[in-house]
């Protein structure tokens, strides 16, 4: 398989010899020029022809995938193979491969036919090599999850190219500045432009020396000037283009003609995104909108995002420093209910983790779809682990960087500000970009408000409690109170969520929530307990279950970092890989005070009773284990190594118990021991009944024993 200009091709030998397709079929299809057998010359060897993969019939594509791609599509197969290569090779090694072999795949994209340009092989090779470098660098950044704001890979690539001047001098179309190189990579992998539009000849498409009907070059100048993000006035564009026309010797059009062109619907449609910015309010007048159906049930979709709480800044623990409050909210798309939130002075992965933890704990389920944006830390190992676990349980994840991707949540932020936050005396108004007349408080009012907040001790706790009070008001307020669109809906968001059916959610148990969000440690079980230290505090968890002690000596302990008093135990494999097999739930066993006013002997008695029950169960299990012996233990012990080790040890244990006066079989059948009563005190003999010591010694056991 070979990829040329982003299209997959197969050689004739691969199709016939490897895939099992008859040679006659292939030749006849290629000779007839059938739409199912399209071919091109091989860029590496013009004597051979390549067969286009996506033009093959379905059954032949399946045969090619099975024989050449391991049953996968070429794109998936190539991605996996490239991932393996990337894991073993560094960026300089990949660049060397690209400059030695991979650049030939891009030769077919560049055909210089302009008479004003030297159509030479060297120029085409330069463009192809530059394209190979851009593709290799972009793929390396994506596959290694490198921060898109980082310039480290660009510096590394340029440093390597500078050291290998033999290759560097062969192509002049790679930018030598790291900023320009990054722009080229972003055009290819962010803007998704074709590589031939990213790496191209300078001034390609410029027809300034030719005259056409309606003067298309002049129209191009106008379009370019109008689509600039500087959004210059019409008069400025007219003056600049008129000046250019005089310089190049063109006839200068009239101002009215310029004005008509700039006001034409075509020019507005073509330049709106460049002039105002894609996704803005003014550019939206010239773009399509797609009406999306709402969610049908609660839990079909959760949307997660963060915003600044529009209340005056609060005092922090550091003297003299102030900060604004942020809220990370998770909103159900059907009911509008806020199922989880977290307050902080910043937006990071820990806040999103806490909001998700709250949402799952409160609702008891995972949504069918979770929509989120590229928040700070969304590609961190901790966040990717949580999102990956949710995806493994069946949650569909949608990561979007556009506000329209989670429009319902963005619209709710506006409702929260204008309807509920505005009722708070600490509310300072909407964002600075808002143009509504009621968007902002007056400067004098804000000065007075900030002074009153400082005097009242307006700190983080008071700020988040005030914000949560307003969010809770929203959750309990009927929608008809503030919405004209839903004027007949007299149910609150929380009631809608509670009463709605939830057929598409993924129910999760408590131990599954622990596997998603709790901290995890792998600890050993020693002396029938587990011990750990969290934030300088020592916790111990006693185990009274014999089955746990029989089966496990090392377990995974999961706990909430804010409350380690309760832990859940999960099984671990031989390689310390944590599984989702839940073992038990334990609580912290606090030390028992035995002296002073806090002495609690009752707790000691209760704990000792559990220990006695545990030991009793061990003895019962041991008796049951040894009850299967059918040979005299004393006899087996005399045999030494003639019996198996397990049988020998079992008999030895039985003999030891017998010497201690414990009958295993009898005790296993007898009922529980009765409480023993103290024997009656002995009756002292009279003086006449006192025995002679000599007779006692002579008749004693020691003298009568032979």
Contact 528, 549 (CB under 8 A): yes
Q: pLDDT value at position 437?
A: 78
State the DSSP code for 396. Answer: E
Rounded distance between C-alpha atoms, residue 158 and residue 164, angstroms: 10
Q: What H or E segment, with its residue span, contains residue 521?
A: strand 519-524
Output the pLDDT for position 670: 44
To which H or E segment does residue 102 belong? none
Q: Over pLDDT 90: what percentage of the chain? A: 19
Flag residues of the chain having pLDDT under 70: 33-34, 82, 85-87, 112-120, 165-171, 202-214, 290-291, 630-645, 647-648, 659, 661-706
> What is the SS3 string spanning 523-583?
EECECCEEEEEECCEEEEEECCCHHHHHHCCEEEEEEECCEEEEEEEEEECCCCCEEEEEE
Locate 658 and state its tokens.
């017998």
The predicted-structure confidence for 522-565, as pLDDT tens digits, reads as follows: 899 988 899 998 888 899 999 999 899 888 989 999 888 778 88
Place of tokens 């995104």: 273
Give the total residue count for the chain.
706
pLDDT of res. 147: 87
Query: What is the C-alpha separation between 167 and 336, in angstroms, rounded?
Result: 59
How far, in Å, are 133, 337, 356, 407, 501 from residue 362 at the CA level?
Answer: 51, 12, 10, 24, 16
List pLDDT tens digits, range 129-156.
Answer: 888 889 888 888 888 888 888 899 888 8
Structure confidence by residue, pLDDT tens digits, 565-611: 889 899 988 778 888 888 899 999 888 887 888 788 888 888 889 88
Distance CA 214, CA 264 (A): 15
Assess contact for 446 and 495: CB atoms under 8 A.
Answer: no
**Average pLDDT for the chain:** 81
DSSP state of 277: -
If we measure between CA atoms, which residue out of 525, 512, 514, 524 comes closest to residue 561?
Answer: 514
Residue 643 is predicted with a pLDDT of: 59
Q: What are the domain boundaries of the chain?
A: 2-198, 216-286, 301-499, 518-587
Check residue 358 and give its pLDDT: 92
Give phi and psi for 626, each to the nearest 5: -85, -5
Distance from C-alpha of 602 to C-alpha of 600, rounded to nearest angstrom: 5
Q: Has this prediction a pTM greater than 0.85?
A: no
Residues in Cβ contact with 628 at an 8 Å cutoff, skipping those fewer than 6 apart: none
pLDDT value of residue 306: 92
- Top-level class of domain 301-499: alpha beta
State the pLDDT at residue 113: 58
Measured CA to CA, the distance from residue 559 to residue 520 in angstroms comes to 7
Answer for the pair 338, 493: CB distance below 8 angstroms, yes or no.
yes
Exposure of 656 by Cβ count < 10 A (0-12 exposed, 13-18 middle, 19+ buried)?
A: exposed
The residue with tokens 């009898």 is 666
pLDDT of residue 677: 55
How much is the pLDDT for 700?
Answer: 40
C-alpha 668/C-alpha 64 separation (Å) is: 71
């Amino acid at each position: 398989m070979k990829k040329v200009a982003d299209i997959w091709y197969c050689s004739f030998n691969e199709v016939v010899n490897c895939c099992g397709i008859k040679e006659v079929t292939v030749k006849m299809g290629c000779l007839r020029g059938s739409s199912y057998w399209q071919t091109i010359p091989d860029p590496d060897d013009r004597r051979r022809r390549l067969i286009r993969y996506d033009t093959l019939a379905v059954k032949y594509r399946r045969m090619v995938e099975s024989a050449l791609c391991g049953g996968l599509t070429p794109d998936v197969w190539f991605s996996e193979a490239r991932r393996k290569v990337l894991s073993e090779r560094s960026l300089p090694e990949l660049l060397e491969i690209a400059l030695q072999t991979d650049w030939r795949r891009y030769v077919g994209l560049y055909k210089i036919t302009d008479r004003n340009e030297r159509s030479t092989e060297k120029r085409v090779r330069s463009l192809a090599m530059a394209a190979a470098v851009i593709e290799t660098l972009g793929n390396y950044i994506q596959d290694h999850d490198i921060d898109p704001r980082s310039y480290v890979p660009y510096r590394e690539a340029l440093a390597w190219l500078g050291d290998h001047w033999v290759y560097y001098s062969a192509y002049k179309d790679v930018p030598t500045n790291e900023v320009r190189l990054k722009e080229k990579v972003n055009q290819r992998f962010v803007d998704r432009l074709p590589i031939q539009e990213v790496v191209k000849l300078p001034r390609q498409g410029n027809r300034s020396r030719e005259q056409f009907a309606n003067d298309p070059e002049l129209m191009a100048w106008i379009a370019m000037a109008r689509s600039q993000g500087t959004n210059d006035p019409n008069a400025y564009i007219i003056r600049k283009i008129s000046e250019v026309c005089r310089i190049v010797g063109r006839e200068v059009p009239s101002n009215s003609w310029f004005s008509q062109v700039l006001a034409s619907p075509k020019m507005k449609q073509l330049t709106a995104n460049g002039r105002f910015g894609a996704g803005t309010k003014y550019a939206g007048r010239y773009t399509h909108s797609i009406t999306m159906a709402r969610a049908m049930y609660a839990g079909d979709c959760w949307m997660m995002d963060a915003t600044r709480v529009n209340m005056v800044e609060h005092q922090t623990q550091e003297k003299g420093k102030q900060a604004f409050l942020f809220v990370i909210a998770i909103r159900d798309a059907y009911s509008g209910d806020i199922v989880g939130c977290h307050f902080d002075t910043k937006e990071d992965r820990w806040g999103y983790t806490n909001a998700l933890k709250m949402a799952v704990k409160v609702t008891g389920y995972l949504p069918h779809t979770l929509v989120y944006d590229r928040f700070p830390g969304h590609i961190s190992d901790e966040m990717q682990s949580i999102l990956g676990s949710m995806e493994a349980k069946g949650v569909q994840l949608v990561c979007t960087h556009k506000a329209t991707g989670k429009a319902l949540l963005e619209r709710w932020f506006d409702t929260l500000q204008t309807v509920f936050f505005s009722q708070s005396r600490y509310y300072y108004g909407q964002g600075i970009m808002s143009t509504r007349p009621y968007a902002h408080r007056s400067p004098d009012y804000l000065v007075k408000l900030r002074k009153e907040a400082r005097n009242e001790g307006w700190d983080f706790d008071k700020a988040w409690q005030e914000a949560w009070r307003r969010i809770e008001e929203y959750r309990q307020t009927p929608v008809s109170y503030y919405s004209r669109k839903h004027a007949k809906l007299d149910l609150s968001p929380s009631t809608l969520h509670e009463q709605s059916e939830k057929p598409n959610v993924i129910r999760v148990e408590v131990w599954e929530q622990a596997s998603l969000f709790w901290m995890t440690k792998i600890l050993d079980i020693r002396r029938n307990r587990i011990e750990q230290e969290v934030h300088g505090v020592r916790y111990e968890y006693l185990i009274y279950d014999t089955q746990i002690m029989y089966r496990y000596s090392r377990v995974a302990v999961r706990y909430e970092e804010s409350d380690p008093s309760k832990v859940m135990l999960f099984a671990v494999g031989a390689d310390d890989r944590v599984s989702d097999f839940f073992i038990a739930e334990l609580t912290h066993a606090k030390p028992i005070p035995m002296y002073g006013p806090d002495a609690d002997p009752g707790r000691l008695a209760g704990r000792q009773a559990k220990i006695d029950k545990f030991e009793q169960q061990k003895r019962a299990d041991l008796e049951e284990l040894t009850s299967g012996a059918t040979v005299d233990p004393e006899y087996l012990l005399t045999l030494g190594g003639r019996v198996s080790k397990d049988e020998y040890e079992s008999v030895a244990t039985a003999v030891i118990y017998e010497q201690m006066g414990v009958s295993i079989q009898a005790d296993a059948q007898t009922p529980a021991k009765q409480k023993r009563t103290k024997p009656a005190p002995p009756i002292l003999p009279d003086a006449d009944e006192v025995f002679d010591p000599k007779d006692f010694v002579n008749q004693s056991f020691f003298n009568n024993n032979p």
